[in-house]
Structure 1
């Protein structure tokens, strides 16, 4: 049984996974196309952040940014390396979708990379019900980005 903890940025394991996430994404994304938020960015009041735990082991992290009262954006989704390749990415996404449903979000969107490094993430988002879309919110057309969205059935 997974447990989720909200806004626990100070946990050493969470902090370490976030830093690894930032470093890795910045290393594979052109500077003008890297939309990853640092910890201060994730602490913005328009964002809810969760860590997911399998017992005492950090399984993954993810955040939901409120674009408006019915539209949310996924941010900083990451699965801990020892939990990768076992369906846990889907668990993180489903947790975020369920949290979005609780607060009546009707549309979820995301931006991810267009390069080969991000292929597994794009496949996972497709499997979760996301479809490619035009840029949303503050995003603009960018050959290095793929934009995806899905409608949520809150019933």
Structure 2
């Protein structure tokens, strides 16, 4: 039986979501020195400025993603992670598109992100590049870091079916 993908606003109380967030943090810490890890922990993801979404296939969590509003019309993408069992199925792109739509509906006009600069983050950078993100200097409270790259993109006012 094939299950369709369901995206939901997540309150972070479910064990499956908490587990995927924990795996995300562990993965970041395994590949990056702690001073260069900018992933939000569970408490930070529960801040009112953050909207978290989870993607489900049947009753299995497939992906998680969030955005954090940092002023009236700008937000930062946070905690993008696809569960290992669902890698390579386009779920990272599906979550990215969903986050873009939700951000636009919240009045966000541009999205920003920080991701790793090393080889472990090539797939993430390619995903963001293919979705129209361009490299930019550090933003907000970020400082230059050789292990980080920064990207941004404007959100078009009326997107096409697969646009952010």
- CA deviation map 1:88-135 (0-9, x unaligned): 110010010010111121100000011111111000111111111011
Match of 1:137 in 2: 140
Tell me the CA shift for residue 53 of structure 1. Answer: 1.1
Match of 1:25 in 2: 28
Equivalent residue in structure 1 for 2:50, among 44, 47, 51: 47
Question: In structure 2, the residue corresponding to 1:108 is in which secondary structure?
Answer: strand
Match of 1:154 in 2: 157
Contact 1:8 1:51 in 2 (8 A): no
Calculate the TM-score normalised by the size of structure 2: 0.91
Match of 2:106 in 1: 103
Figure out how many residues of one structure are paired with residues of the other and give that number: 155
Match of 2:78 in 1: 75
Contact 1:8 1:14 in 2 (8 A): no
Contact 1:104 1:154 in 2 (8 A): no
- CA deviation map 1:15-46 (0-9, x unaligned): 11111111110111112111011100101111
Does residue 89 of structure 2 align to residue 86 of structure 1? yes
Alignment RMSD: 1.0
Tell me the CA shift for residue 2 of structure 1. Answer: 2.5
Question: In structure 2, the residue corresponding to 1:117 is in which secondary structure?
Answer: helix
Question: In structure 2, the residue corresponding to 1:13 is in which secondary structure?
Answer: helix
CA distance in 2, matches of 1:25, 1:6: 23
| TM superposition outliers: structure 1 runs of 4+ over 3 Å | none
Match of 1:15 in 2: 18
Does residue 20 of structure 2 align to residue 4 of structure 1? no
Tell me the CA shift for residue 10 of structure 1. Answer: 1.7
Does residue 117 of structure 2 align to residue 114 of structure 1? yes
Unaligned runs of 5+ in 2: 159-164
